[in-house]
Amino acid sequence: MRVLPPTFPSLVTYQSLKSFVIYTLFTMTTTNPYVSNIIQQTGMTESEIHQSTSAITRVFPCIIHGRHFSSQEEYDYQLNEFLMGM
């Protein structure tokens, strides 16, 4: 006896695609294990975590890894020199 592979419809119906998208949007969990860990530890939402870990605004003069920068312009110049010297 010969077993044939199952046949699948060639076109996905609009309703099934819509249901899949809605299901995915409302049940989607984070795929980042670090964010998942913070959510479990603190009870924060994913958006709260992203807001709390956003970029830090620097106040000049400042010291970064032992280097003193007296202004934003000096920092930008030194950063450019470092990146272009690579």
Q: What is the pLDDT of residues 25-50, one digit of tens each?
A: 665 566 788 888 888 898 888 888 88
Contact 73, 63 (CB under 8 A): no
3-class DSSP state of 52: helix
* pTM across the whole model: 0.38
pLDDT at 5 over 80: no
Residue ranges covered by each domain of the chain: 14-52, 55-86
Tokens of 76: 């930008």
Selected residue with higher pLDDT from 24 and 78: 78
Segment 61-79 shows an average pLDDT of 92
